[in-house]
Structure 1
Amino acid sequence: MDTPTSKKLDIIIPAFRGHSQSFLLVLDGISEENALKRIEGRTNHIIWMAGNFLDMRYALGNVLGLNEEFEYKDFFFQGKALDESFTYPSLQQLKDEFHKISPLVYQKLLAATDEELEKAFPMGMNIDFFPENILNFVGMCIGREDYLCGQIGLMRRILGYEGMKYDFDKNLNY
């Protein structure tokens, strides 16, 4: 396993890599048609969930100093509500974006220093026990990715797919 510069990220590095695996595995086999289905008009569709996952990766990269911009940001930025009048990108386009941004963010996580992680990063939460800094933003992004993979996993089952397999790709190094 890669060793991060900051020991504060020892738990984040395996989580990030695990989420990379989960993201691809939970989307495995889902058709483009089913990726746009909603349940009783009340749920987000898988495309929106996958796009929001990527918006998190891009946000994390930007906070860590990357200047990459998510091509489909206008659909997903900061959890923007699903809009059925939009023509969303395909699942394949989102997977391509995933492979573009994920290795870059991973390298930034590995290189982040304690000083960088402790820098203030206002999120407007105003919660006593939650310092608004880059480290806690990283943690929030990881938590959101977990949540979204779980949501997509539930949608898999509702749409009649088998549950996600855990056949991790040992060659995926981000």
Structure 2
Amino acid sequence: MDQPNSKKLDIIIPAFRAHSQTFMMVLDGISEEDAKKRIDGKTNHIIWMVGNFLDMRYALGNVLGLDAKNPHSDLFFQGKALDESFSYPSLEELKANFHQISPLVYQKLLDATDEDLDQDFPMGMGVDFFKENTLNFVGMCISREDYISGQIALMRKILGYNAMKYDFDKDLKY
């Protein structure tokens, strides 16, 4: 396994790689048509969920110094609410964006130093038990990816797909 510069990321590196795998596995077999479905008009559709997962990757890269702009930030930035009047990108386009940004973010995680991670990063949370710094923002991004993957897994079942299979791709290195 790749070793990060900062020991503070020892738990984050495997989580990031696992999330990359989970992202691909949870979407396996989902049709474009089903990816746009909402349940009783109450849920977000899978496209929105995938777009938000991808926005987390861009946010993570940006806080670590990566100069990359999410091509769909107008639709997904900071969990922007689903708007059915918008024209959302296809699932395939979002997957392609995922494979473009993820290796770049992964390298930034590996390169990050303790000093980088200790930098103040105001998030406006205002709670005394949560230091607002880059490291904790990284952790929040990882947590959000977990949450979104769980939502997509639930949508798989609701839409009649089999549960996600854990067929890891040993060639996916990010």
Q: Same fold (TM over 0.5)?
A: yes
In the TM superposition, residue 112 of structure 1 has moved relative to its aligned partner by 0.2
Tell me how far apart the structure 1 counterparts of residues 116 and 71 of structure 2 sit (CA, whole Å). Answer: 27
Aligned 1:1-174 pairs, distance under 5 A: 1-174=1-174
Equivalent residue pairs, number: 174
Q: TM-score, normalised by structure 2?
A: 1.00
Shift >6 Å, 4+ stretches? none
Tell me how far apart the structure 2 counterparts of residues 34 and 62 of structure 1 sit (CA, whole Å). Answer: 31
Tell me how far apart the structure 2 counterparts of residues 67 and 111 of structure 1 sit (CA, whole Å). Answer: 15
Q: Which amino acid aligns with 1:77?
A: F
Tell me how far apart the structure 1 counterparts of residues 92 and 142 of structure 2 sit (CA, whole Å). Answer: 23
Tell me how far apart the structure 1 counterparts of residues 36 and 49 of structure 2 sit (CA, whole Å). Answer: 10
Tell me how far apart the structure 1 counterparts of residues 77 and 146 of structure 2 sit (CA, whole Å). Answer: 18
Aligned-residue sequence identity (percent) comes to: 75
Q: TM-score, normalised by structure 1?
A: 1.00
Q: Which amino acid aligns with 2:151?
A: Q
In the TM superposition, residue 57 of structure 1 has moved relative to its aligned partner by 0.2
Structure 2 stretches lacking a partner, 5+ long: none
**Aligned-partner SS, 1:14:** helix
Structure 1 stretches lacking a partner, 5+ long: none
In the TM superposition, residue 126 of structure 1 has moved relative to its aligned partner by 0.5
Tell me how far apart the structure 2 counterparts of residues 112 and 96 of structure 1 sit (CA, whole Å). Answer: 25
Tell me how far apart the structure 2 counterparts of residues 168 and 134 of structure 1 sit (CA, whole Å). Answer: 29
In the TM superposition, residue 101 of structure 1 has moved relative to its aligned partner by 0.2
Tell me how far apart the structure 1 counterparts of residues 103 and 41 of structure 2 sit (CA, whole Å). Answer: 35
In the TM superposition, residue 154 of structure 1 has moved relative to its aligned partner by 0.1
Q: CA-atom RMSD, angstroms? A: 0.3
